[in-house]
Amino acid sequence: KKCDELRYGIEALGAVLRPVFVTMSLSASLVAWTRPKSHVALVYQEDDDDITVVTKDRVEKGAANALAIVGVILLTTCCVVGLYWCGCTSCLRGYMMFSSATLLGILGGGLFATVLVKAEIHLDVFTLFIIIINWAAVGVAAIYSPFKFGLPRSATRAYLISAAVVLAWHLSTYPPVTTWCALIGLALYDLFAVLAPCGPLNALVQLMATRREPLPGLLYEAQIDTDEYIDETDRISSQADSRQTHGNIDNIEDNIPIQYHHRNSKSNDDSDDLDTNNKRDPVKLGLGDFVFFSVLVANDAKQQGFVPAAAATLACLIGLATTLILLTFSKRALPALPISIALGVTASFFADACLLPMLSLFVHSGLRV
């Protein structure tokens, strides 16, 4: 039985890390290729002379911008908690569908147009408009009502990864110092929101555990085939205690922390639900984690090149795996961002300060690695 649990843990870890790696790779590649310009509205704008130079003035302005970004996310999260507490799940679902359509249609259309210009592909405005409208409409249907429209689960996953790539591409237009400050600020906010007794995400998790009502949002379901891990002994013992494991990683718009919990069966005498209760739910990841990891890697790819981006990618994956491992020993929900962001930022600065100069020295001295 312990061997089966270990095999399931390895499968779950792979199912979580694969889509995150794909999202980070696509985002970094697009940002490095298209080099999007900064047109975002910030509290303080950085000078355009040399944005790679870090000065005290830029750090102060970046911290102020990051504080504003975290404040907006905090306000949005509190509004979501309030609506969910009032039972306005229909309003939340409508808001999420509208925001998804805007993300895929407007922001996705901007990315698509940039790619067409970069690739020198000519397309008339009417055709481009039709493509974007259909892309956004099918995306909303695939994310929120895939079974109603007969869409496969693979389409839902593809659209969720696409939405994360689009948002990460647009967020990568922030100035570098503001991006670093925002990532660090969001990691600290995640710690407070999840672990503090008065944290909004902690309150949301408790509300969801009490009501057992799903929260509509952008969730990536990493489905795992668990039939091979189920034996007859587990089927019999699950009548008394269903040992179903449910992984949930959500962030930003559906900013719920990583959590695993055991759910007891509703009735010990209900043998019809025995197989269902014994099977594990798919591991669910909120797209906020996808987006922020991708922003970190894309920022490295745009400003510093392949080596820091690769180091940050590996560090983020190690941090996410570490968080999932710690989660198996924890009795409460854990934030997903802090460990991965801390390792990613550290690896990025280490690669920029040590690895790149060392590789340049090897190249100039004619050494082969």
Q: What is the pLDDT of residue 241?
A: 39
Q: What is the pLDDT of residue 90?
A: 86
Confidence (pTM): 0.81
Q: What is the pLDDT of residue 276?
A: 42
The string of DSSP letters for 249-310 reads E--GGG---BEEEEE--S-TT-GGGHHHHHSPPPEEEEHHHHHHHHHHHHHHHHHT-HHHHH
Q: Distance between CA 235 and CA 289 in Å, rounded?
A: 35
Of 319, 368, 361, the C-alpha closest to 342 is: 319
Q: How far apart are the first and last CA of the chain?
A: 46
Q: What is the pLDDT of residue 182?
A: 93
CB 236 within 8 A of CB 247: no
CB 225 within 8 A of CB 283: no
Mean pLDDT of successive 10-residue stretches along the chain, which has 369 residues: 68 86 94 81 64 72 90 91 87 90 93 92 92 94 84 89 93 88 93 89 85 74 57 38 37 50 40 44 74 93 87 94 83 83 93 82 68
Q: What is the pLDDT of residue 263?
A: 39
The string of DSSP letters for 73-113 reads HHHHHHHHHHHHHTT-HHHHHHHHHHHHHHIIIIIHHHHHH
Q: How many other CB atoms are there within 10 angstroms of residue 136's CB atom?
A: 20
**If DSSP codes are grouped into helix, strand and coil, which group holds residue 165?**
helix
Q: What is the pLDDT of residue 265?
A: 35
Q: What is the pLDDT of residue 50?
A: 53
